[in-house]
Amino acid sequence: INGDPKCTQFHDPDQGKALYRLSGMPALKTVVLLSIGPILNQFFSAIEGIVQTIWVNKAMGKKGIASISSYMPFENICRAFGLTAACSGSNAVGGFIATNKYNKEEGSQVICDLLRVCIIIGIVTPAVLCPTVKMAVKWFGASEEIVNLGYKYIFPILICTFVTCIYLAYTGFLIGEGRTMLYACITIVTSIMNIAFFCPLFILGFKIGIVGAGISTVLSQGIA
């Protein structure tokens, strides 16, 4: 790669390897290799959701499952903002590489700006949702018991929206550089930490109830 003319305008320390990962191979091979990481991520994310539900069911039964399900749309709202930052970062970093404008200063500035956005989202989202989600879920038709139980689950997730956004944004930066296998490793380790260690530890070990499922989700993302 070091002698490739396409890489002579680059100032990045990997000497054009990012460009090679994204466009240096035949199109079909590039698509196949870059899709392995996201496919593994989706597979383990599905397993994570199933196993987490099993832990909650063991501790609290059907009421616990109903509580998590009732608040799932609001958890997805938090993730949606993070995925927006991830998509923006991936497109920006990939664009720098594709146009031969990739350098440490511009890339760092993009990351810095997106982190600022994550901070704003991390403040605004819980400020809006924490006082309103219980009313929304009650309006959906959930019983008072389910509303109060599910709020214990969603509260730490809402408060730590910033952590979720940062976690997802950084995975987007990795995808933009074509580092999809590293992206897969990070997300898989996050899922394993959640369902194999933190979730059973908080729910069954410390016996703190459904709030443990929310804390374990945020904690595993924060560590990653």
Q: Over the stretch 63-76, which tens digit does the pLDDT of each residue have?
A: 999 999 999 999 99
Tell me the pTM.
0.85
**Residue 74: which of 3, 25, 145, 134 has the closest Cα?**
134
Whether 119 shows a pLDDT value over 70: the answer reads yes
- Return d(Cα 159, Cα 127) in angstroms, integer: 9
Segment 164-192 mean pLDDT: 92
Residues 205-220: tens digit of each pLDDT: 999 989 999 999 999 9
**∠ CA 202-205-210 to the nearest 5 degrees?**
40
Residues 9-58: tens digit of each pLDDT: 444 456 667 666 766 677 788 888 889 999 999 999 999 999 999 999 99
What is the separation of C-alpha 68 from the centre of its chain, rounded to a whole number of angstroms? 18
Percent of the chain residues topping a pLDDT of 70: 87
Sign of CA dihedral 74, 63, 159, 39: negative
139-175 exposure pattern, b = at least 16 Cβ within 10 A, e = fewer: eeebeeebbebbbbbbbbbbbbbbbbbbbbbbbbbbb
Whether 7 shows a pLDDT value over 50: the answer reads no
**pLDDT averaged over the chain?**
87
